[in-house]
Amino acid sequence: MAKKKKRNIKKEQVLYPSAVMLKEDCYNEYQRLIETYDKIYEKVNIMLAFCGVVLLVILSKVDISRYMLLFQTEEKALFIISLLYCVAITISAWFIFTSVVHLLNLLKGKKMVVFDSIAIRNEKIYESQEESAALWLIQKYTDSISSIQNVIKEKQDEYDKTVIKVIISLMAYAVALLLEKGI
């Protein structure tokens, strides 16, 4: 028993004076990541509104009679132009539609560990030395930071892929418009 007391005393005497300073840096990093997470949602909402408008414009250009014209035309040049138009407008509509679906999925929240400010209401923390409390906070912040970083990376990667789909859709739509003006 005497050895256990000595070990506990030695453990409590180890001080981490820099922990108090580092705690503030962890908090700042946590706050920065939360802001980044919120900005991703802002970008997704803006892109979703844009895609919604573009989807309506593209869908207004989809004309089933154009597809039927493919089978009725005997002139090869007109057939090729009509075929390219139908392919371009279909690609455009498909990519913008899937972009809207992906953006809606991005709006769903993902489970992540966040800092639990209620957990700090703990007598052991109140009674501990400042360095020990700072170490506890650092641990909680780093756990949260790691989780948030993973979610941000996943959401940003998915957003980037969606932006590429929107660009492809707009390019295909531009081709369709050029073909339509040429018909």
- The pLDDT tens digits for 80-126 are 888 888 899 999 999 999 999 999 999 887 666 666 666 666 666 65
Domain assignment of residue 74, yes or no: yes
Domain assignment of residue 48, yes or no: yes
Domain assignment of residue 16, yes or no: no
Under 8 Å CB-to-CB from 116, ≥6 apart: which residues?
140
Domain assignment of residue 23, yes or no: no
Domain assignment of residue 105, yes or no: yes
**Under 8 Å between Cβ of 121 and 6:** no
Query: How much is the mean pLDDT over the chain?
Result: 81
17 pLDDT tier (thresholds 50, 70, 90)? low
- pLDDT computed for residue 137 by the predictor: 77
Domain assignment of residue 22, yes or no: no
Residue 170, pLDDT > 80, answer yes
- pLDDT computed for residue 18 by the predictor: 66
- pLDDT computed for residue 5 by the predictor: 47
Report the half-sphere exposure of 31 (CA within 13 A, side-chain side): 6
Domain assignment of residue 1, yes or no: no
Task: Choose the weakest-confidence range: 34-38, 99-103, 165-169.
Answer: 34-38
- pLDDT computed for residue 155 by the predictor: 92
Q: What are phi and psi of 118, to 5 degrees?
A: -75, -30
Q: In total, how many domains does the chain have?
A: 1
Structural domain boundaries, residue 156: 29-182
Domain assignment of residue 90, yes or no: yes
Q: For residue 118, what are the CA distances in angstroms to 24, 114, 155? A: 18, 11, 28
